[in-house]
Structure 1
Amino acid sequence: MKQFVQILVFLAFVLGFSQGTEKFQRANALYQQGKYQEAIDAYKSILDAGQESVSLYYNLGNAHYKLSNVGPSIYYYEKGLELAPNDEDIKNNLVFAQNATIDAIDSIPEGFVSSMLRKITSLFTFDGWAWVSVACMILFVILFILYYTANLSSRKRLFFVGSWVVFLIGIFGVFFAFSQYNSVQNNQFAIIFAQETTIKSEPNLRSEDVFQLHEGTKVKVTETVNNWKKIRLTDGKIGWIPSEDLREL
C-alpha cells in the first residue's frame, strides 16, 4: 500500500512538471508573437501553481519591460537573481530596466572589506554555500585517508596540505552561508510599483511629506505598522509608505 501511494505521488509530480513545461512553452510562444500581456498572464499562472524558476522570472521581467512596466520588470529580474545571483543575462537586463527609472539615489560609500565580503558572499545562495561546505568536508576526509595510506613522503605532504586547504574552504563556506542567510533575513527589500508615491514621516496620511519616489525604485523595508511600511534608501533617507505602493521581494 505504501509503495502504491509513493507511485501515485511520483506520477502526480511528473504530471505537474509536464503541465508546467507545456504552460511555459505556450507562454514563450505568446511572447514570441508579441502578445506580451497574454504571455505575462500565462507565466503568472505557473507561479500561481507554486512553480518558479530563473527562466520564468527572467521571461516575466522581459515581458513587463516590453510593455514599459518598469516596476514589475525590475521586481521579476530581482526575483530571478535571488535564485541565480550570477546570471549575466538577468543582470544586464536589470540595468536596462533600472535606467528607465526616475529616481537617482546615491549610495553611502561602502568600506573595502565589507564590499569584498558582500561580493564573495553573493557568489552563491545560502544553499549553494552549504553544498560547497559539505563537498569540502567530504573531500577533506578523502584526502586525509589518502594521506594516511600514501607511501611516498611527497604524496603525504600533498594530501596533508590539500586536506587542510579544503577544510578551511569548507569552514569559510559555512561562514558565508550564514552571512547569506542573515543578509536575506535582515535585509528585506521591495520594489516601488506605484508610478509616484509620497513618503510620510509617520505611518498615517496626516503626517508630514518627506520625499517622493517613483516606479521601479528599490528600497529596504525595516518595519511594518498596519498598512504602512517603513523604508530606508541607499542614501540613508527613511520614511513610511503605504503597503500597496510597493511589492516585497
Structure 2
Amino acid sequence: MENSVTHIPGTHRNLRAKILLIALISLFFQQWSYAQIPDSLFIAANKDYQKADYNGAVEKYTEILDMGYISPELYNNLGNAYYRLGYIAPTILAYERASVLAPSDKEIQHNLSMARRLTSDNIIPLGQSLTVRVVNSVVSLFTASWWAILTAVFTWAMLIFFAIYLYGRSTSMKRWAFYVFAGCLISGAISYGFHLTAKKQLSDNPYAIVTEENINVKSEPSTSGGDVFSLHEGTKVEIEESLNTWHKIRLADGKIGWVPAGSIEKI
C-alpha cells in the first residue's frame, strides 16, 4: 500500500499568516527603536548649557547627532549653544535644520528669525508655491521621530487586529477585525511616508548656509570667473548644480552664481 500525505486544510494559509505576523512585529520594533531618545546624554548637554558650559553642550549635542538621532529640539538647543558662543553660521545652520523638521514651531522660527538678524545680506525671498506650503504644513504636524512613533502605533494595532482576524471565532468578528486592520495598514503607510518625507527634507535638502565670512560669487565655476555679487556668513542659498569643487547656487531673490564647495555647508 502506497504511503500518502494527508493535506490539512488551511495549513499553508496559516503559515503565510504567521510569516506576515512576524514581519509586522519586526517592523514595529524597528520603528520603536528608531524613536528612542538618548536621554542621559541629552540631559547632560542641557545641564552643560544651564551651567554656561556652551562648548560642552555643543560637544554633547553633536555626539547625539553623530549617533544618528535627529529632532527639532536637538537642533534648536544646539543653535542656542552656538548663539551663546557667537558663531553666526553654525547657529543659523542648526536653527535651519530644526526648522526643516518642525517648520510650524514658533520657538524655532523665533530663534531663526533672531539669528538671521546677525547676517549682513539683505535678501528679499520670492514666495513659495501653494503645493510646497501644503506639503510642508502637513509634514510639520509632527517631527520625523513622532511620525516614526505614530507608525509604530499603527503597526501595533495591525498586529492586534490581524491576530483577531486569524483567530476570531465568528465571521462578523473576523470581518470587523479585517476592516480595522486595513485601516491601520493604510494609516501606517501614510504616516511612514510622512516620516520618510521629514527625514528626506533634512538629508536631501538642497539648501545651504554660507560659512565663510565673505565670499565673491563667480559667473562660472573657476577662480578666473567674474565676480557677480558677494555674500557673507550665515546667508541661505540653494544648491542647483555641483561641478568638481564648485556649487552653482541660487538666492531666494533669484540671483545665481558659482561658489567654492568649501564656502557653504548643506542644511
Q: Distance in 1 between matches of 2:250 and 2:44?
A: 41
Aligned partner letter, 1:194: E
Q: How does 1:7-26 map to 2 (within 5 A)?
A: 25-26=47-48
Q: Distance in 1 between matches of 2:249 and 2:153?
A: 39
Deviation string, structure 1 residues 96-133 (Cα, Å, up to 9, x no partner): 212443322322431x3342123222444555434433
Distance of aligned partners of 1:126 and 1:46 in 2 relative to their CA distance in 1, 3 Å threshold: closer
Q: Distance in 2 between matches of 1:113 and 1:169?
A: 22
Q: Give the deviation of 1:157 after TM superposition.
A: 8.1
> Is the partner of 2:64 in helix, strand or coil?
coil
Aligned length: 223
Q: Distance in 2 between matches of 1:166 and 1:109?
A: 33
Q: Distance in 1 between matches of 2:263 and 2:60?
A: 24
Q: How does 1:63-102 map to 2 (within 5 A)?
A: 63-66=81-84, 69-81=87-99, 87-101=105-119, 102=121
Conserved? CA contact 2:213–2:233, under 8 Å: yes
Distance of aligned partners of 1:90 and 1:115 in 2 relative to their CA distance in 1, 3 Å threshold: closer
Give 1:105's aligned residue: 124
Report % sequence identity: 32
Indicate the structure whose relative CO is greater, using CA pairs within 8 Å and at least 6 residues apart: 2
Conserved? CA contact 2:209–2:266, under 8 Å: yes
Structure exhibiting the larger radius of gyration computed from Cα positions: 2
Give 1:233's aligned residue: 251
> Is the partner of 2:96 in helix, strand or coil?
helix
Aligned partner letter, 2:236: K
Distance of aligned partners of 1:65 and 1:87 in 2 relative to their CA distance in 1, 3 Å threshold: same
Give 1:35's aligned residue: none
Distance of aligned partners of 1:43 and 1:230 in 2 relative to their CA distance in 1, 3 Å threshold: farther
Q: Under a length normalisation based on structure 2, what TM-score does the superposition of the two structures give?
A: 0.63
Aligned partner letter, 1:105: I
Give 1:118's aligned residue: 136
> Is the partner of 2:207 in helix, strand or coil?
strand
> Is the partner of 1:51 in helix, strand or coil?
helix
Structure 2: stretches of 5+ with no match in the other structure: 1-38
Conserved? CA contact 2:207–2:236, under 8 Å: yes
Q: Distance in 2 between matches of 1:198 and 1:230?
A: 13
Q: Distance in 2 between matches of 1:45 and 1:235?
A: 35
Q: Give the deviation of 1:172 after TM superposition.
A: 1.3
> Is the partner of 1:194 in helix, strand or coil?
coil
Aligned partner letter, 2:214: E
1:45 maps to 2:51? no
Aligned partner letter, 1:199: V
1:28 maps to 2:42? no
Q: Give the deviation of 1:95 after TM superposition.
A: 1.9
Conserved? CA contact 1:197–1:212, under 8 Å: yes
- Aligned Cα root-mean-square deviation (Å): 3.8
> Is the partner of 1:234 in helix, strand or coil?
coil
Give 1:248's aligned residue: 266
